[in-house]
């Protein structure tokens, strides 16, 4: 099925933070976009500006249930990525990752579509090596409170590669590292949105542990470009491929950046480190450089400024 010579693209989780940006970019490229979402952790406001586009269609559906569509490409992003949401219903989180992958893979087999899995840096757990390359198998607690997400995504990767071997399916597996930007939910518990919202409200910035743990933050526009370049790459390039920004920063350094850019006089409050919280995140993106000619271009300061401005408007500050 084609639309004016362009592709029909399904984005599961398309009304989420990352999915909504991806849907918008695919429309800019001239494709017809089917946005599938059950709105468990997403918002219709994220895609409100897309609803009047004749090449955009919203489908309210849960990926744990099969669906019959005619598409050329599938981006499987459906799964809550915030600990607040995925720990709220851990059984459903695992079902979304595993059953969702099976249903989307079956759809890809039936339609002959190529399919991209939005995997995660949580594949690596609390890593013993840094930076994390795709050859590292990870250090994950299989029975902890984060396991529903970590192990669900690991099982999804297994399914993708088994479908490739068994059905000769064209797959792409992207391991996404911490991503931030406009349309993040203000209460989703992720550190960038937490710090920005707390700073704008004049509240203490909550740092878990001593603040020495690190993350590497990629602005959403860079990440979306990476996903699309990966999908459009040669069939032999299937991954897994890390997508993220290798610029590493401690949580204390991040508080200083947010406070300076927001002009806030908030203080920092230290709380106990959550169970199984990784101490370090830094992607090795040499494979993305080599295979996709991709690297992030938006600096942390530039991205934070855009994200702070978004929250100022969204929260009326």
Active site residues: 149
Note the helical H segments in the chain. 17-28, 83-86, 90-111, 147-167, 191-201, 220-231, 251-262, 286-292, 300-314
Cα separation of 25 and 201, whole Å? 32
Q: How far is CA 78 from CA 37, 42, 200, 278, 307, in A?
A: 7, 10, 30, 23, 23
**What does the block give as tokens for 155?**
């099982």
3-state secondary structure 122-169: HHHECCCCCCECCCCCCECCCCCCCHHHHHHHHHHHHHHHHHHHHHCC
Cβ-defined contacts of 161-164 (< 8 Å, 24+): 163/105, 163/108, 163/109, 164/238
> 155 burial class (0-12, 13-18, 19+ CB within 10 angstroms)?
middle
**What does the block give as tokens for 309?**
């401005």
Q: How far is CA 257 from CA 51, 303, 310, in A?
A: 35, 11, 16
Q: How far is CA 33 from CA 54, 63, 227, 228, in A?
A: 10, 17, 15, 13
Q: How far is CA 83 from CA 63, 65, 145, 160, 252, in A?
A: 20, 23, 9, 24, 20
């Amino acid at each position: 099925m084609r639309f004016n010579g362009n592709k029909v693209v399904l984005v599961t989780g398309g009304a989420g933070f990352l999915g909504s940006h991806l849907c918008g970019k695919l429309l800019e490229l001239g494709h017809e976009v089917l946005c599938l979402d059950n709105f468990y952790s997403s918002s219709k406001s994220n895609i409100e500006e897309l609803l009047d586009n004749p090449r955009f269609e919203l489908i309210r559906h849960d990926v744990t249930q099969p669906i019959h569509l005619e598409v050329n490409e599938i981006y499987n992003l459906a799964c809550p990525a915030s600990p607040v949401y995925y720990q709220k219903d851990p059984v459903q989180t695992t079902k979304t990752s595993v059953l969702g992958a099976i249903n989307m893979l079956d759809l890809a087999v039936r339609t002959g579509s190529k399919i991209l899995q939005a995997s995660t840096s949580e594949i690596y757990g609390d890593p013993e090596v840094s930076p994390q390359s795709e050859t590292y198998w990870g250090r994950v607690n299989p029975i902890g409170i984060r396991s529903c997400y970590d192990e669900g995504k690991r099982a999804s990767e297994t399914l993708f590669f088994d479908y490739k071997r068994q059905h000769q399916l064209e797959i792409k597996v992207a391991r996404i590292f911490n991503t931030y930007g406009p349309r993040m939910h203000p209460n989703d518990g992720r550190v960038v949105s937490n710090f920005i919202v707390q700073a704008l409200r004049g509240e203490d910035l909550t740092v878990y542990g001593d603040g020495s743990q690190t993350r590497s933050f990629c602005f959403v526009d860079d990440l979306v470009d990476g996903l699309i370049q990966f999908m459009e790459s040669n069939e032999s390039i299937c991954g897994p491929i890390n997508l993220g920004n290798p610029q590493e920063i401690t949580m204390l350094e991040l508080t200083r950046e947010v406070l300076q850019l927001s002009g806030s006089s908030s203080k920092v409050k230290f709380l106990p480190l959550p169970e199984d919280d990784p101490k370090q995140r830094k992607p090795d993106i040499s494979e993305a450089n080599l295979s996709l000619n991709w690297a992030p271009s938006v600096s942390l300061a530039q991205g934070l400024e855009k994200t702070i401005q978004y929250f100022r408007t969204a929260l009326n500050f």
